[in-house]
Amino acid sequence: SAVISQKPSRDICQRGTSLTIQCQVDSQVTMMFWYRQQPGQSLTLIATANQGSEATYESGFVIDKFPISRPNLTFSTLTVSNMSPEDSSIYLCSVDHRFGSGTRLTVV
């Protein structure tokens, strides 16, 4: 199974700024997924990132707020833009039903 590496593992950011989260996979994959896990909650799919096409966003998530890049078959980034305290969550990259260790974001 693929090894999924995410960074940063955690960050504390000022409101109004943006943070880009990186996800690296050790094998080529067609689909990469980005999830959000709010404190004490379950996981919610943000978007599906396919190489060579625009990401597909789930209801409630928009590209302007969560732009995603997928430059090749092993890498993707998720940016959380114009952050507010409500964006404080764990953001997780997923491949083949497996997850990276996540990025714990705190917005102050």
Binding site for another protein (CB under 8 A): 6, 31, 33, 41-45, 48, 50, 56, 58, 90, 92, 97-102, 104
Least Å distance between CB 102 and another protein? 4
Task: Compute the distance between CA of residue 29 and CA of residue 25 in angstroms, rounded to an integer.
Answer: 8
For residue 35, with 0-12 CB atoms within 10 Å meaning exposed, 13-18 middle and 19 or more buried, which class applies? buried
Residue 58 or 81: the one with the smaller Cβ distance to another protein is 58
Nearer residue to another protein within complex by CB, 12 or 82: 12
Helix ranges (H only) for the chain are none
User: Could you tell me if 100 and 10 are in contact, meaning their C-beta atoms sit under 8 angstroms apart?
Assistant: no
- In angstroms, give the least distance from the CB of 101 to another protein: 5
Residue 77: CB minimum distance to another protein, A: 17
